[in-house]
Amino acid sequence: MRYSLALFTLPVALVAATPVGKRCTGTISSLDDVAAAEKCTTININAFTVPAGKTFAISALDGATINLVGDVKFGVANWAGPLFSVTGNNLIFNGNGHTFDGQGASYWDGQGGNGVLNSPAHVYSVSNPAKLVMSKLTIDNSAGDKPNSKSGGKAAGHNTDGFDVSTNDLTIENSTIYNQDDCIAINKGSNIIFQGNTCSGGHGISIGSVSTDATVKDIQILNNNVVDSDQALRIKTKSDATNASVATVTYKGNTATGIKRFGVIVDQSYPSTLGTPGNNVVISGITFGAGNNIAVTSGAQRVAVDCGSKCTGTWDWSGLKVTGGTAGKIDNYKNIKAGSY
């Protein structure tokens, strides 16, 4: 299931269940068909174009199956979105190899959400109310690597985060993300697994940026491959954040090559990089299990840590090996054990 650049919300649980509702098949070929199709336990989405400035929103019956049976294109408009939204419990969504095309190239100006245009920037915003597994997705924003007439010679795509996560009980696996920003950004939540994915061309795998009152805990980053990205693995907390924490993050079996800035970075000065850190976010239990191998380019730093006063406990990094580049600074924290970097 391949999704082009768009802004999606997915407050759903994609697991099989017994459908509750009318056993019929509803077909959507335009937004006018949605209300009738939502009453059925099977929904087929044909190829059509969603009018500019409109959300394609499905509120499905619990246990329904949604099948994409044609490519869906979204008209271009400068608006907040989202382009596509699905709500419901225990849903099955089958992409069947078809495409959601957000026509991102029409918006890209090299600045993304920070620019003049209110463009479709981030792809998936995940805030599911129940256990959710997202598997075998392809997010292909590779065309955004090239400049266009609006981007001043820079890559046209920007703020094209693959997954922005603020939820619990989420697994994202076996997916491929080509973009120009975070492959995944875990902003808050617990019991999150990111495994078997490939991240190419962006900012790598990120915890954060962590804001005031946010808790991130029990995170597993497993067996991923990060290629040609600014960072491989990053934890970033906002310098002005309070009453927040990052705890029990485990990295295991991850590989990275062609990393341009930092192999691993823990930075409490965001949005600065290695600036003056904040002192009100607790970071604890950052562990590198077996098999994390990262290769950085000659101008990159292997590892950099910029802690405030609340990095705590012993961090076991015995399973981390970073090669190439230069050694970065580890500031204000002395309890990182083992590792080769």
* Token pair belonging to 88: 């419901």
Residue 158 annotated to the active site? no
Q: Helix, strand, or coil here: 111?
A: coil
Instruction: Tell me phi and psi for residue 176, to 5 degrees.
Output: -125, 130
Pairwise CA distance, residues 120 & 239, whole Å? 27
Instruction: Kindly list the distances between the CA atom of residue 304 and the CA atoms of 166, 260, 273, 283, in Å, as whole numbers in the listed order.
Output: 26, 13, 10, 15
Instruction: Kindly list the distances between the CA atom of residue 151 and the CA atoms of 72, 98, 158, 235, 332, in Å, as whole numbers in the listed order.
Output: 27, 30, 10, 28, 38
Instruction: Tell me phi and psi for residue 38, to 5 degrees.
Output: -65, -15
State yes or no: cis peptide before 209, omega within 30 of 0.
Answer: yes
Instruction: Kindly list the distances between the CA atom of residue 235 and the CA atoms of 63, 109, 172, 208, 316, in Å, as whole numbers in the listed order.
Output: 36, 27, 18, 6, 16
Nearby residues of 177 by Cβ (< 8 Å), 6 or more positions away: 138, 139, 162, 163, 183, 184, 197, 198, 199, 200, 202
Do the Cβ atoms of 139 and 178 come closer than 8 Å? yes
Choose the catalytic residue: 98, 122, 158, 203: 203
Residue 328 region by backbone torsions, left for phi larger than 0, else alpha for psi between -120 and 50, else beta: beta
Catalytic residues: 203
